Amino acid sequence: MARVTELPEAQPAQFLIVGSGIAGLYTALKLAELGQVVLLTKDRLEESNTSYAQGGIAAAIDPSDSPELHFEDTIKVGVGLCLPESVSILVHEGPSRVRELIQYGVPFDLIEGAPALTKEAAHSRRRILHADGDATGREISRSLVRHVVGHPNITIYEETMVISLLTHNARCYGVLALMPGGELATFASGAVILCTGGCGQVFSMTTNPSVATGDGIALAYRAGASVSNMEFIQFHPTALFHPPAPRFLISETVRGEGGILVNKYGEHFMPKYHELADLAPRDVVARSILKEMERTGSDRVYLDLSALTADQIRHRFPNIYDTCLHYGLDITAEPIPVSPAAHYMMGGILTDIWGRTSIPGLFACGETADTGVHGANRLASNSLLEGLVFGHRIYHYLQKNFPEIEEFQPDSPPELPQETSPETTCSDRRFIQELMSAQMGIVRNGPGLTAALETLQAKGQGPATPCLDPAYIELQNIRTVARLMIQSALLRTESRGSHYREDYSRTDPAWRKRIVITGKRITYLPITPENG
């Protein structure tokens, strides 16, 4: 890659946050209590995976529930790879964080003045809070954005894309960013917090918006930070399959409220695959749907809502109802055609319980981070909670270890992407997405993964002219994340949670460990009582 020879003068930021989903917005509000915060986001402030989250946020707030039960459900679904300490933090601190959201004005749905709770797959209790029926993420984002925009200690830069992390003596001191007008800007900070979300756009079929290109993972990895559990991408079992409509998420709460999965013959098939039937863990449901589609020679299955009345559907799932109706589907009268799609990254930038990465001065939070909470398979609706809980812990750590902004020169000039044409960028993005869906999807095997990795490496060559096109920068991030995912999937010679290899179809106790990649170095972190 080409390099920047001279950096623009750095703009100081006591705390620098990259990303504007729930993790970025909430962490910005908390850190603004301590000092000046700069928040950078590559699109509009409201555009993030959070805004598209439907089901809700899990927390043990009902008298019949407990953090211990929430802990047990999370650990069970994670298939031996959750870190018990991280999960304990999540479930015990989660209720307080949810109450903060209520204080911020998030309009959770109520029944007789108390939060209305629903149930999702693999939860033993009804503990999912939701807002506007099935638009929880949107309502959380709206409430937090309103507070962030009005806060005197928060400066917001929209349509600003971070190109590189700036380091000196193995410490992160800031970022190099591409501004809306095309000029470069440097931001220096005592603490850089990556809250850049997921990487669903690595795949051709995803519930994620176009901004979910794995930017934080790629930035951190290129700067020398460790990433872990990159083989574990969750495929949501039920995304709308109604071409040319987009792959719109059909929330798991639809099944939690009584919806069932049927094949093209109208047969309810999940009971033959798992004792929990339609509310089995997501990886089980996704693979079961795939098997049923193959068995019946179909490219979709159907979500039957006939157990609900038309009024119940319109009241409980107004967003899903309106979206399907827009594409000619009346879900009060006909089943919803669905199939699995890439949804959530369980791995990411390796952090400790305070959000610290392997690079001092660099923190990560939310979907871009691997805190050890999700293991091999995320429990539904734990994702929004994770962003809050570990955002608060970053705030708590920096409150006690207040960072100073220091003048510095980077260890080496930051790299810039190489030039290419817009047409090539678009076609290369589609090529990688199709390759990943074919070889790194719900079912994988060694030869396919090896061929995919070789193809990616061969296609990654290009000219050395600097390029400051955001689409091309995203392409390079997608390429980096895709390579890390395939590399990890090849190393894990077993099947566990969302990682299923047909050439190693059993779960191997010897693989109860995390795969950590730092540059070209591979290490393994066993899950033990000492680190759990």
Q: Per-residue pLDDT tens for 157-203?
A: 999 999 999 998 889 999 999 999 889 999 999 999 999 999 999 99
In contact, 186 and 166? CB cutoff 8 Å: yes
pLDDT of residue 413: 64
pLDDT of residue 532: 46
- CA dist 298 and 47 (Å) reads 34
Q: What are the residues whose beta carbons fall under 8 Å from the beta carbon of 460, sequence distance 6 or more?
A: 479
Distance of CA 307 to the CA centre of its chain: 32
CATH code that applies to domain 416-526: 1.20.58.100
In contact, 335 and 304? CB cutoff 8 Å: yes
Q: Do the bridges between strand 184-194 and strand 10-18 make them parallel or antiparallel, or are there none, so unpaired?
A: parallel
Helix axis angle, 215-222 to 470-491, nearest 10°: 80
Q: Can you tell me the mean pLDDT for 239-259?
A: 92
pLDDT of residue 474: 94
- CA dist 401 and 363 (Å) reads 13
Written as one string, the DSSP assignment of 173-204 is EEEEEE-TTS-EEEEEEEEEEE-----GGGSS
∠ at Cα 272 (267, 276), nearest 5°? 105
Q: Can you tell me the mean pLDDT for 304-316?
A: 95
Torsion of CA 59, 61, 63, 69, to 10 degrees: 20
Q: What are the residues whose beta carbons fall under 8 Å from the beta carbon of 305, sequence distance 6 or more?
A: 254, 258, 259, 313, 331, 332, 335, 336
Q: For 230, which DSSP code?
A: T
In contact, 324 and 240? CB cutoff 8 Å: yes
How far, CA to CA in Å, does 177 sit from each of 148, 169, 191, 425, 458?
A: 21, 21, 16, 20, 28
**Tokens matching residue 170:** 């193995």
Tell me which residues are annotated as active site.
Answer: 282
Evaluate if residue 4 carries a pLDDT over 60.
no
Can you tell me whether residue 370 is helix, strand or coil?
Answer: strand
Can you tell me whether residue 461 is helix, strand or coil?
Answer: coil
Q: What is the mean pLDDT of the chain?
A: 92
Q: What are the residues whose beta carbons fall under 8 Å from the beta carbon of 266, sequence distance 6 or more?
A: 302, 304
Evaluate if residue 324 carries a pLDDT over 50.
yes
Can you tell me whether residue 11 is helix, strand or coil?
Answer: strand
Indicate the range of 190-194, 211-215, 333-337, 526-530 predicted with least confidence.
526-530
Residue pLDDT, tens place only, 32-45:
999 999 999 999 98
Confidence class for position 207, pLDDT limits 50, 70, 90: very high
In contact, 253 and 198? CB cutoff 8 Å: no
Written as one string, the DSSP assignment of 80-109 is T-S-HHHHHHHHHHHHHHHHHHHHTT--B-
**Tokens matching residue 500:** 């299923």
Domain boundaries, the chain: 236-342, 416-526
Q: Tally Cβ neighbours within 10 Å of residue 125.
A: 16
178: β partners: 161, 184
Evaluate if residue 464 carries a pLDDT over 60.
no
In contact, 192 and 361? CB cutoff 8 Å: yes
Residue pLDDT, tens place only, 482-531:
999 999 999 999 999 999 999 999 999 999 999 999 999 999 999 976 55
Burial degree of 98 (CB within 10 A; 0-12, 13-18, 19+): buried
Written as one string, the DSSP assignment of 491-502 is H--S-BTTB-BT
Q: For 466, which DSSP code?
A: B
Which of 229, 235, 228 is CA-nearest to residue 440? 235
Residue pLDDT, tens place only, 124-141:
999 999 998 888 999 999
Residue pLDDT, tens place only, 338-361:
999 999 999 999 999 999 999 999
- CA dist 337 and 52 (Å) reads 19
186: β partners: 10, 176
pLDDT of residue 6: 59
pLDDT of residue 422: 59
User: Is 3.90.1150.10 the CATH classification of the domain at 236-342?
Assistant: no
- CA dist 505 and 299 (Å) reads 24
pTM assigned to the model: 0.93
pLDDT of residue 224: 96
Evaluate if residue 112 carries a pLDDT over 60.
yes
Evaluate if residue 121 carries a pLDDT over 90.
no
Give the 3-state secondary structure of 17-75.
EECCCHHHHHHHHHHCCCCCEEEECCCCCCCCHHHHCCCCEECCCCCCCCHHHHHHHHH
- CA dist 89 and 472 (Å) reads 38
Share of the chain above pLDDT 70, in %: 93
Evaluate if residue 151 carries a pLDDT over 60.
yes
- CA dist 440 and 110 (Å) reads 41
Rg (CA), the chain: 22
How far, CA to CA in Å, does 288 sit from each of 122, 238, 293, 372, 419?
A: 15, 12, 9, 26, 43
In contact, 520 and 87? CB cutoff 8 Å: no
pLDDT of residue 46: 87
pLDDT of residue 523: 98
